[in-house]
Structure 1
Amino acid sequence: MHDTTPLSGRLRLIATVATFGGLLFGYDTGVINGALPSLVSDLRLTPFLEGLVASILPFGAAWGAPFGGRLADGLGRRRVLMVLAVVFVVATIGCATAPAVGVLIAFRAVLGLAVGASSVIVPVFLAELAPAHLRGRVVAQNELMIVGGQALAFVFNAGLATALGHLPHVWRYMLVLATLPALALWVGMIAVPESPRWLARNGRFEDMTRVLRRIREEAYTPREAETVRELAAQDAERPAASVLDLVRIPWIRRIFGIGAGMAVINQISGINAIQYYGVTVLQDAGFGGNGAFYANIIPGLVGVAAVGLAMVLLKHVGRRPLLLTGLAGTIASLTAFALCYLLIPGESAARPWAVLACIVVFVGFEQCCVGTVTWLYMSEIFPLSVRGVGMGACAWLLWMMTFVVGLTFPLLTDALGVGYTVLTFVALQVAALVWVHRAAPETKDRTLEELEEHFRAA
């Protein structure tokens, strides 16, 4: 019989504050979508520099992810998130006031470091705070904030393009708005407690018990505290984890293989090509004027609704069936997307709306079933002793895949056309479906400690 204790009000508040990091993640990755047209014109960017500006953030994120994971293991999840909030503010202001493209690229790279670090720390922090039966819902809240941040970026981009589109530097206004959630993250984290599992790992058992009592409220049980304490005591006797531990120890190597696979399939659908170049794709499909900006809002809002649906489904449906369903849906919708480009004449009035419909369905399946579940998998499968370094390594791989997709998408579409480029993503999704069916275990309703014992015994 599964525990049905509801989420406490205090834990709900803590999760909301912590996921402002996810909101920043989403806004900073989505805002470039609408900022690029005016940015290219204002700074007279070549196609190569345009691609570099768009993709340098995930490149920075790839290095911020493992670095952030190690910092969070050493200094604590809460403290590092507060530092990252300051980095977000400084780097955002630097991007918005950049006098030249070189300065913009440099600050976008720094912003990427903060995005990558938060992409690792926030899911791990939430997974360590939540009880087992609510972990999926709590960690999925971060994905909701990510797509919410992207949707906000699309809405603000459309509004600013309409109101200030005559100004060559309208992109600066689009970028600077990210300072507001960064300030909210810093202020909110002042009142957020440290992860009880990190406290236990560092021998602070009284603080761990106090935090568990505080965030569980009436649902607190001494048994959970004792379990966390026992495993933390065992981990404390082991040497500090390194990247080599992920491949040297057989049972951890198996976990790392699963986490790395999840990182790859998160990106090989091409979801971030849509997030970065959605306005450009919709303009190419046939939307004129500011129509592409407003059409781009629709998949952004669908993404938010899809993650909201995922938060409900994760209470009742296992990770594996949800992921398999999502991959089947992305394969079908991407195939339809490619056929729209290949079979519908460019001058047809139906073409832009058919393409938009395919993008909407694709984003719905991707955000509900694939993006949400892959981040959840990565946050919960690693044992405490290597959780930070393991999540960091997987996030590094995920962000490098994002960088590759973002940098090569314009080159591929130029060489192959949008239709055949999308068919390439379809083939990769088919491979991902086969891999998940063969390799991905079920993790629903199992505590982090039970998962560790399962992988040790396998």
Structure 2
Amino acid sequence: MTKEQYITLNRASGPNSSTKTEPFVKVIAAVATLGGLLFGYDTGVISGALLFMGDELHLTPFTTGLVTSSLLFGAAFGALFSGLFANAAGRQKIIIILAMVFAIGAIGTALAPNVEWMIFFRLILGVAVGGASATVPVYIAEIAPANRRGQLVTLQELMIVSGQLLAYISNAGFNAAWGGGETWRWMLALATVPAVLLWFGMMFMPDTPGWYAMQGRLAQARRVLERTRAREDVDWEMEEIEETLAEEKDRGKVGLRDLAKPWLLKLFFIGVGIAVIQQTSGVNTIMYYAPTMLKAVGMSTNAALFATIANGVVSVLMACVGIWLLGKIGRRTMTLVGQFGCTFSLLFIAAVSFFMPETVHGEVDALRGYLVLFGMLMFLSFQQAFLSPATWLLLSEIFPTRLRGVFMGSAIFAMWIANFMISLAFPMLLASVGLSGTFLSFALIGILSGAFVIRCVPETRNRSLEQIEHFLHDWLSDDSEERRSPAAAKRQAASH
């Protein structure tokens, strides 16, 4: 193929295609991202349920922490195990299994007779949450056409924050309807509804073209492409998939031992770094502990609970903005804006809590509390519109086809372990150095994370998954300092 033919083809199809998304792709994304809705609901619902289950389960401060954080610990291993089995079982089958685990975990926590069973079923639920966080973005990235991959993958992020908002609203709704008592059991049981819908829906969904091709089932891969791509894109993408798999076959069977290859080892650590910096921004301390922080800076209980719903609303709105932005600007740019925007917001919260007095004329200063709330909302705007969408999308794109499941699972394992450790440490940080010192610590980490983004995060926009794999192989295999710079790599790609 001549250079002119290649340019003409690329304008008509693939990453630069102007064709509309096939309706079946939208159906697949809507069904699969129910996993994200469950992810968000199950991580958010516990904040309200804890208010009512304490007396019945005889919770102490220590067991309250275990009930909350056990899901995060289970999620780390769910991400790891789902990644290990994704290549063998297929992305679609993994999601079906996870839907059943979601239902078991939801029913188990709702019926738990004591704290030991509650912690056990929260761990089970965590396995499903972690597995969904690692598998759903990969599934959508591989099933989506290249020119719509960004928007479709970040539907996962929108569904996560929508699930959290649904949890906050349902907590308030159940409490308003039935008050205390065993209301918490209904809060937890509600998660079985989307779990059943996810299981039923995924039974009728195909696996991805890349996975079918990887198993040697090329006819099925083509059939999926014919249902999910414009007619003119099918041959182009099928050829790319076959060429990439042929190259990988020539390199030999791919496995974890391939981490000995320098470019794959570098890529693995870049992926882990991208996953971890999303957590070191401190986002989940705000999502989990917002009422505690707002009460600490002078808000009443009712005002603090209302503000938590406001956090959820802003997260959903900004996730929608993020989906729109991904069609306009690059992933690397979004990560940079999000990282430094979050860091500025953390510095703002630290400055307000440090410089403004807690009381004015002997009374609690309400302005201080609302300025901290403003800082939280500003933080969530940068996090949900820029950093989180770019994070999930980059992780679903940058890993090679045969290692995508394992590498994605490992990166999300690291993300959940970081989440677990930060959430566990936050109350102790708050008690020892106060709100200002805690958020200053997160801001300093944010500056280091920004340096990592500048140095290591690549630009993947307007490339198919196969093109991304070739680009990263060439970039990370070159020992030149100039070529290792993502900005230099971007300039070089633009010049061709």
Same fold, TM-score > 0.5, yes or no: yes
| 1:184 to 2:183 alignment | no
> How big is the shift at 1:239?
5.7
Does the 8 Å contact 2:291/2:301 carry over to 1?
no
Percent of aligned pairs with the same residue? 42
Distance 2:128 2:253 in 1: 24
**Residues 127-276 of structure 1: pairs in structure 2 closer than 5 A:** 127-165=141-179, 167-218=180-231, 220-236=233-249, 241-245=254-258, 247-276=259-288
Deviation digits for residues 130-173 of structure 1 (CA, Å, limit 9, x no counterpart): 122211111111111111111111111222333334x1433222
Distance 1:295 1:379 in 2: 33
Name the SS for the 2:45 alignment partner.
Answer: helix
Kindly provide the amino acid, as one letter, of the partner of residue 387 in structure 1. R
**Residues 47-446 of structure 1: pairs in structure 2 closer than 5 A:** 47-165=61-179, 167-218=180-231, 220-236=233-249, 241-245=254-258, 247-346=259-358, 347-446=364-463
Distance 1:199 1:236 in 2: 15
Moved more, 347-356 or 420-429: 347-356
Kindly provide the amino acid, as one letter, of the partner of residue 328 in structure 1. F
Distance 2:253 2:199 in 1: 29
Moved more, 328-337 or 398-407: 328-337
TM-score using structure 1 length: 0.96
Kindly provide the amino acid, as one letter, of the partner of residue 439 in structure 1. C
> How big is the shift at 1:377?
0.9
Moved more, 167-176 or 117-126: 167-176
Q: Which residue of 1 aligns with 2:483?
A: none
Distance 1:40 1:349, change over 3 A: same
Q: How many pairs does the alignment contain?
A: 456
Distance 2:391 2:119 in 1: 29
| 1:32 to 2:46 alignment | yes
Distance 1:161 1:282 in 2: 21
Distance 2:68 2:356 in 1: 29
Distance 1:331 1:4 in 2: 36
Distance 1:450 1:173, change over 3 A: same
> How big is the shift at 1:241?
4.1
Does the 8 Å contact 2:22/2:227 carry over to 1?
no
Does the 8 Å contact 1:157/1:293 carry over to 2?
no
> How big is the shift at 1:274?
1.6
Name the SS for the 1:278 alignment partner.
Answer: helix
Deviation digits for residues 289-308 of structure 1 (CA, Å, limit 9, x no counterpart): 43322221111111111111
Does the 8 Å contact 2:278/2:387 carry over to 1?
yes
> How big is the shift at 1:374?
1.1
Moved more, 256-265 or 29-38: 29-38
C-alpha root-mean-square deviation of aligned residues, in Å?
Answer: 1.6
Kindly provide the amino acid, as one letter, of the partner of residue 82 in structure 1. I
Q: Which residue of 2 aligns with 1:8?
A: 22
Q: Which residue of 1 aligns with 2:479?
A: none
Structure number with higher relative contact order (C-alpha < 8 Å, ≥ 6 residues apart): 1
> How big is the shift at 1:98?
0.8
TM-score using structure 2 length: 0.89
